Amino acid sequence: MFIERSILSEHKNYAVLKDGTAFRFPNHNDDLMWRLTYAQDSITHTDMLRLASLMDSYHYLLFECTQKRRNAVCKEIKELYQEEQ
């Protein structure tokens, strides 16, 4: 099933690709990265879920997909991100 590529409207944290897969945009987590580094006591359960989503995507891109698929996913995510800027 193919759907139109888009950014999920809720929080605009996800890129939905042509094939329907969704990837969280890591750049929307700048505050999370800072808090993980400098303020660990402020990390919430929601933050942990966001981080788990990013880790899962990273694992998929590195270890589960082919180079061709990885390149296509990265290219499409970059295009979607640029469209939103």
| One pLDDT digit (tens) per residue for the chain, 85 residues | 334 444 444 546 778 888 888 888 766 556 888 888 999 999 999 889 888 988 999 999 999 999 999 999 999 988 888 877 6
Enter the pTM of the model: 0.71
83 class by beta-carbon count within 10 Å (0-12 exposed, 13-18 middle, 19+ buried): exposed
Residue 17: the pLDDT is 86
- Cβ(54)–Cβ(28) below 8 Å: no
pLDDT of residue 11: 45
Give the contacts of 28 (CB within 8 A, at least 6 positions apart).
Answer: 11, 12, 13
**Which residue, 25, 30, 32, 27, is CA-closest to 10?**
25
The pLDDT, as a whole number, for residue 71 is 96
Strand partners, 6: 16
